[in-house]
């Protein structure tokens, strides 16, 4: 038992002791390659919106649309189910027919005209349009849950939040709809779907005591660890709610899986933002924030949430601390301060400070399911970097395959076995040789 205690203590120290400001790092060169791209016109998918590996790692489900990403006009929705590495298409589902049937509408015909961006000259809105959000596997691994918003009219504006439950073979589709106001889709509300009863429950997060920045969606009490309670309620585990007590070490936890897991952390795939010190007089230091937006399915399969929005401020110990006046000036004073999860994240923060001084920048981050390896894209705009979470060592630097990579859509996903990494551009990279 003494050895076990020492191992636990070592784990805590390894995850949470600040890394030295400068340390010698050894880059390991490994063979890797792009195995396959799921954004492929042969399989009709041209716009990737979300993806989910089945928890047993056997299949990958991706959600998107054909022809183009829907902006101001309808584009057909597609669910493709691949084998583990995306090389083989197992099945294709067309979810629009079930959604429009529930709305008592015909599926729109696809216009041959190229959609125009809203706000530009000659732009137009053509309804109805379906905007897909997320895709998840059911806890029993047999079905898929797909969340979406559908706009049936722009004048006047009429929109619905929706959830589609369908088996992976395309049978027994169930479509749940809730008419919503635009204000319901942002701010402090998230939608809980009660699957068994076929009805939604709108739940409001506990007030945080201050006004959040308009561009920082938060609809859940910020905490380091969440658990499910009765009625589809997500609640912080006692002692993990932010802001934590000054000087207290955060609990060392695995990343956790919101898709059917009993507990999980806010360190899901998300975006790290550095608000740069462009003006030395008014903004002499950087402000760092972490945000993650994701859906969650309760382990009993009865509730599905679309979508949890978490945000917090991070403060690397090596870097200058912004004053309350600066935080207020930048409208960031309401964000809680979260402890930096591990040395890998701390290393990324320091590198963003060193390589992009004074610039506002973003990076996409995703931890491997066991929490031991951190994948990062965006710090230099060229490579995907892999860090050892416990030591901060750079394990590998792999070149981005070259296709369009959107940092803000949250797609940077590890396979359950840690052998594959899906990029938002649709490429699946072999990363089986990256080890701490």
- Per-residue model confidence as pLDDT tens digits over 212-228: 555 566 788 888 999 99
pLDDT at residue 41 in the model: 82
Per-residue tokens: 329: 């000036």
Q: Which pTM was predicted? A: 0.85
pLDDT at residue 113 in the model: 42
Inform me whether the pLDDT recorded for 11 exceeds 50: no
- Per-residue model confidence as pLDDT tens digits over 161-202: 999 999 999 999 999 998 887 655 555 677 889 998 877 776
Inform me whether the pLDDT recorded for 392 exceeds 70: yes
**List of residues 6+ apart from 295 with CB closer than 8 A:** 133, 134, 136, 145, 147, 258, 259, 304, 305, 306, 307, 308
pLDDT, mean over the chain: 80
- Of residues 102 and 235, more confidence is placed in 102
State the residue for tokens 């609990």: 251
Inform me whether the pLDDT recorded for 211 exceeds 70: no
- Per-residue model confidence as pLDDT tens digits over 288-343: 889 999 999 999 999 999 888 898 889 888 777 777 777 776 667 778 888 899 99
Per-residue tokens: 218: 């938060």
- Apex 345 CA angle, 339 and 346, nearest 5: 75
Lowest mean pLDDT among 71-80, 196-205, 309-318, 420-429: 196-205
Q: How confident is the model at residue 82 (pLDDT cuts 50, 70, 90)?
A: very high
- Per-residue model confidence as pLDDT tens digits over 25-44: 445 555 556 778 888 888 99
**List of residues 6+ apart from 383 with CB closer than 8 A:** 377, 397, 398, 399, 400
Domain ranges of the chain: 41-107+125-185
Inform me whether the pLDDT recorded for 405 exceeds 80: no
Q: Are 51 and 60 in contact (CB under 8 A)?
A: yes
pLDDT at residue 98 in the model: 98
Q: Where are the beta strands (DSSP E) in 54-112?
A: 59-65, 77-83, 89-93
Per-residue tokens: 278: 């462009």
- Of residues 169 and 247, more confidence is placed in 169
- Per-residue model confidence as pLDDT tens digits over 107-135: 988 754 444 444 344 446 777 999 999 99
């Amino acid at each position: 038992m003494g050895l076990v205690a020492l191992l636990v203590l070592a784990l805590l120290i390894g995850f949470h002791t600040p890394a030295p400001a400068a340390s010698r790092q050894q880059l390991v060169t490994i063979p890797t390659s792009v195995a396959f791209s799921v954004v492929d016109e042969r399989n009709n998918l041209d716009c990737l919106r979300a993806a989910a590996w089945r928890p047993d790692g056997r299949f990958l489900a991706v959600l998107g649309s054909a022809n183009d990403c829907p902006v101001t006009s309808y584009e057909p929705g597609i669910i493709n189910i691949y084998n583990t590495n995306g090389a083989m298409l197992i099945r294709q589902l067309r979810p629009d027919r079930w959604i429009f049937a529930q709305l008592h509408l015909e599926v729109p015909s696809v216009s041959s005209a190229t959609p125009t961006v809203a706000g530009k000259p000659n732009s137009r809105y053509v309804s109805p349009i379906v905007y897909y959000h997320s895709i998840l596997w059911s806890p029993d691994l047999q079905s898929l849950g797909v969340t979406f918003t559908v706009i049936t009219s722009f004048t006047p504006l009429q929109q619905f939040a929706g959830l589609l439950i369908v088996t992976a073979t395309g049978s027994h589709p169930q479509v749940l709809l809730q008419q919503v106001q635009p204000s319901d889709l942002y701010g402090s509300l998230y939608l809980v779907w009660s699957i068994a009863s076929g009805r939604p429950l709108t739940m409001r997060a506990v007030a945080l005591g201050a006004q959040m920045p308009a561009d920082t969606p938060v609809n859940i009490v910020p905490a380091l660890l969440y658990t499910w309670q009765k009625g589809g309620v997500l609640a912080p585990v006692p002692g993990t709610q932010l802001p934590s007590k000054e000087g207290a070490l955060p609990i060392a936890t695995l990343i956790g899986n919101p898709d059917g897991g009993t507990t999980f952390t806010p360190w899901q795939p998300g975006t790290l933002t550095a608000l740069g010190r462009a003006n030395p007089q008014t903004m002499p230091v950087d402000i760092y924030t972490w945000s993650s937006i994701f859906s969650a399915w309760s382990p009993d399969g009865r509730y599905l949430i679309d979508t949890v929005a978490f945000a917090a401020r991070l403060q690397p110990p090596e870097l200058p601390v912004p004053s309350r006046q600066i935080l207020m000036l930048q409208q960031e004073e309401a964000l809680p301060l979260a402890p930096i999860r591990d040395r890998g994240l701390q290393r990324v923060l320091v590198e963003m400070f060193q390589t992009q001084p004074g610039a506002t920048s973003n990076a996409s981050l995703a931890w491997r399911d066991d929490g031991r390896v951190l994948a990062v894209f965006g710090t230099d705009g060229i490579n995907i970097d892999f860090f050892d979470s416990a030591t901060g060592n750079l394990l590998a630097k792999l070149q981005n395959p070259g296709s369009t990579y959107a940092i803000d859509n949250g797609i940077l996903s590890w396979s359950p076995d840690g052998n594959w990494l899906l990029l938002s551009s649709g490429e699946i990279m072999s990363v089986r040789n990256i080890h701490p």
